[in-house]
Amino acid sequence: MDTPNAPNPGAAASTGTSLDLNRRLGSLLAQIASGSQPAFAEFYELTSRRVYGMARRVLIDAALSEDTTQEVFLQVWQNASKFNDEAGSPLAWLMTISHRRAVDKVRSTQSATDREARYGASSQDIDHDSVSDEVDSRLEAEAVVRCLGTLTETQQESVRLAYYGGLTYREVAERLNAAVPTIKSRIRDGLIRLKTCLGVS
């Protein structure tokens, strides 16, 4: 069966409590595993905003985030039967897939950037207006780990929770008992430091 067409990734929102949502998602995954397109459409409507938000926090770029969101839901369609509720909730399973896909996209983008640089792509005009975009487009695991050490403790906490923990600004603020504007400032300042450390000009 062909994969169903899905609506815009920013259009969906989840409703009800987390427990109710996970119960519904578990039921839908069972139906999706049997090839139910209506179940897939409802699953998408209930979760696409969360998946897109995760992708956007990691990738920054809207187009890449939309592509990653579609890839995540294609994986859901193809692998719904592999979901094991004993290993975790449906939402946790979905967000794990989302985070891994986004990180893979970062690595893929980095590899492509490196290849282009070796073949003279440095002559192309690249828009670097966004500090976050500059940093994310050049992420390399070892360099990032090293450069995270140059951040203040509060910046490290904020960046790690947002980019590696998959939390929203508000969730990071609640976790660290700080105001949302403060968290946004810490993350932006942290990314600026990362940009400098990674040698992004």
CA-to-CA separations, 132 to 20, 52, 84, 119, 188, in angstroms, rounded: 35, 17, 35, 25, 8
The one-letter amino acid code at 179 reads A
Q: How many helices (H) and strands (E) does the chain have?
A: 9, 0
Helix (H, G, I), strand (E, B) or coil at 84: coil
Classify domain 126-198 by CATH architecture.
Orthogonal Bundle (1.10)
Per-residue pLDDT of the chain (201 residues; tens, 9 = 90+): 455 544 454 444 434 577 888 999 999 999 999 999 999 999 999 999 999 999 998 888 888 889 999 999 999 999 999 998 888 899 999 999 999 988 888 887 665 544 444 544 444 444 444 455 555 544 455 666 677 778 888 888 887 787 766 778 888 888 888 888 888 888 888 788 877 776 654
Give residue 182's Cα distance to chain centre. 22
**Topology (CATH level 3) of domain 18-107:** Rna Polymerase Sigma Factor; Chain: A (1.10.1740)
What token pair was written down for 108?
A: 């893929």
Q: What is the CA radius of gyration of the chain?
A: 18
The pTM of this model reads 0.50
Residue located via tokens 């815009």: 8
The one-letter amino acid code at 17 reads T
Distance CA 99, CA 192 (A): 23
Q: Give the domain ranges of the chain.
A: 18-107, 126-198
CA-to-CA separations, 183 to 83, 146, 156, in angstroms, rounded: 35, 22, 11
Give residue 52's Cα distance to chain centre. 7
